[in-house]
């Protein structure tokens, strides 16, 4: 077991290091950040000073070593665009993304799981297709379109929900009193972006639930339960559902992380101050440290999660840790 854990830890480290290198190189191909701050006619002294303060006048390997070295001290550098430490800005925004991600996750479960179950129970029927259509509709329409329609209908025409940002609730790391309140206030601001994002992912939830249930419903275990004479609703509710939720929950964590990190379009439309918008701004402004920092943090989260899942699976199922 220990060997298994060590091997998987090593894999994680290698993956992370590869990610670091890839993003370092890729981001430097995108252009010159100095151009964003130095307008036409900026004096060369200012430009040179800027370049030097950002470390861009050093050779590439020097920058790389410096970058990795600082990473080991959990220092992501200073944002070019926002002139403040990347780490501070990132952790200021992260709770917002987590809030949005959690809410979207719950919505995707609420939409995807029931329809998935319905699809599996009435395979290839009208219900199956209708359920699939509704959930898949969420990922068949671009997010900016869904968001815009929601804004127009609920924000402008009906006036029920606010359309901008996240309201005034702030999660301040240094003030624990804000930690709890943050999650429950301003849900009105959260409703539309969470719905748009959640609907998109409900398709995936539906698929997972459906195939999970189909697997379980065809298994010997369920046949046995049926043979025992248990009424059908009980078969479904008590036995099939429980077992089919396992793959859902396995993917749940991964999907949640993806939602947290990927909601760029939704965040831009609703002006939600999360890490997606942070990353998009950073990319637009060629803000190398910020791009590197955000991508690495999201990569770190995913790698850690995968590692945890692998270890848990290895613990639960001996076949896995003994195989390749």
Judged by CB under 8 A, the chain residues 68 through 97 that form the site for other proteins are: 78-79, 81-85, 88-89, 92-93
Other C-beta atoms closer than 10 Å to the C-beta of 161 total 17
Q: How far is CA 324 from the centre of its chain?
A: 29
197 interacts with other proteins by CB under 8 A = no
Map tokens 């924000």 to a residue: 155
Q: How far is CA 69 from the centre of its chain?
A: 27
* Site track 126-145 with other proteins (rule: CB under 8 A), x = hit: ---x--xx--xx-xxxxxxx
CA atoms within 13 A on the CB side of 131: 25
Residue closer to other proteins by CB (options 62, 160) is 160
Do residues 209 and 116 touch, judged by C-beta distance below 8 A? yes
Residue closer to other proteins by CB (options 229, 324) is 324
- Binding to other proteins in span 162-181, by CB under 8 A: 162-165, 170
Residue closer to other proteins by CB (options 126, 229) is 126
- Binding to other proteins in span 254-313, by CB under 8 A: 258, 261-262, 264-265, 268-271, 273, 276-281, 283-286, 291, 295, 298-299, 302-303, 306
Minimum separation from the CB atom of position 194 to other proteins (A): 17
240 interacts with other proteins by CB under 8 A = no
Of 1, 6, 9, 22, the residue at the interface with other proteins (CB under 8 A) is: 22
Do residues 90 and 84 touch, judged by C-beta distance below 8 A? no
CA atoms within 13 A on the CB side of 59: 2
Query: How do the residues of the chain divide into helix, strand and coil, expressed in percent and rounded to 5?
Result: 75, 0, 25
DSSP assignment, residue 85? B
* Site track 28-67 with other proteins (rule: CB under 8 A), x = hit: -xxxxx-xxxxxxxxx-xx--x------------------
């Amino acid at each position: 077991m220990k060997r298994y854990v060590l091997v998987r830890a090593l894999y994680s480290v290698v993956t992370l290091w590869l990610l670091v290198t890839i993003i370092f190189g890729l981001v430097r191909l995108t252009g010159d950040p100095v151009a964003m701050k130095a307008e036409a006619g900026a004096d060369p002294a200012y430009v040179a000073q800027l370049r030097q303060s950002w470390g861009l006048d050093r050779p590439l390997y020097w920058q790389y070593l410096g970058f990795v070295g600082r990473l080991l001290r959990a220092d992501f550098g200073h944002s070019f665009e926002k002139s403040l430490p990347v780490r501070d800005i990132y952790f200021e925004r992260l709770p917002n993304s987590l809030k949005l991600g959690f809410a979207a996750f719950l919505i995707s479960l609420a939409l995807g799981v029931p329809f998935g179950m319905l699809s599996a129970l009435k395979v290839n029927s009208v219900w199956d297709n209708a359920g699939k259509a509704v959930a898949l509709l969420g990922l068949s329409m671009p997010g900016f379109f869904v968001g815009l329609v929601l804004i127009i209908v609920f924000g402008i025409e009906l006036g029920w929900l606010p359309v901008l940002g996240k309201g005034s609730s702030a999660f301040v790391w240094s003030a624990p009193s804000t930690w709890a309140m943050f999650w429950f206030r301003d849900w009105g601001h959260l409703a539309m972006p969470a719905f748009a994002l959640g609907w998109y992912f409900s398709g995936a939830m539906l698929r997972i639930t459906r195939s999970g249930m189909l697997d379980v419903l065809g298994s010997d275990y369920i046949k046995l339960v049926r043979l025992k004479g248990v009424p059908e609703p009980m078969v479904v509710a008590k036995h099939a559902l429980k077992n089919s939720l396992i793959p859902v929950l396995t993917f749940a964590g991964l999907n949640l992380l993806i939602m947290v990190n990927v909601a760029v379009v939704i965040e831009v439309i609703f002006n939600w101050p999360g890490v997606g918008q942070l990353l998009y701004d950073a990319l637009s402004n060629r803000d190398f440290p910020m791009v590197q920092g955000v991508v690495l943090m999201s990569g770190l989260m995913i790698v850690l999660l995968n590692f945890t899942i692998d270890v848990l699976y290895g613990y639960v199922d001996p076949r896995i840790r003994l195989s390749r």
